């Protein structure tokens, strides 16, 4: 199978990356509204969020495994 020419790939990839970049800049700017900033002391750390997420994911996996075993 032949690969598409590099020029056609670039014609699609460059606008796509440009649009994704604009959207991400817009989303970052939208999250920094005045008065919505939570002080760092009252926020859980990133590791705590990751740990809680992994705990919930493990619980979901255990439930799914149990449900599959009982079938």
Residue 52: partners with Cβ closer than 8 Å, 6 or more residues away: 44
DSSP state of 45: P
Residues 52-70: pLDDT tens digits? 888 999 999 999 999 988 8
Q: Report the C-alpha gap between 61 and 48 in whole angstroms.
A: 20
Residue 10's pLDDT is 67
Residues 21-37: pLDDT tens digits? 777 766 555 555 556 67
Q: Where do the structural domains in the chain lie, given as residue ranges?
A: 6-70
**Hey, is 22 helix, strand or coil?**
helix
Q: Report the C-alpha gap between 28 and 20 in whole angstroms.
A: 12
Residues 16-25: pLDDT tens digits? 777 777 777 6
Residue 44: partners with Cβ closer than 8 Å, 6 or more residues away: 52
């Amino acid at each position: 199978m032949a690969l598409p020419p590099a020029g056609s790939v670039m014609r699609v990839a460059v606008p796509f990356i440009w649009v994704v970049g604009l959207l991400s800049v817009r989303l970052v700017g939208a999250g920094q509204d005045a008065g919505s900033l939570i002080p760092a002391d009252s926020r859980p750390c990133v590791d705590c969020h990751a740990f809680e997420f992994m705990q919930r994911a493990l619980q979901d996996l255990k439930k799914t495994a149990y449900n599959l075993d009982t079938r």
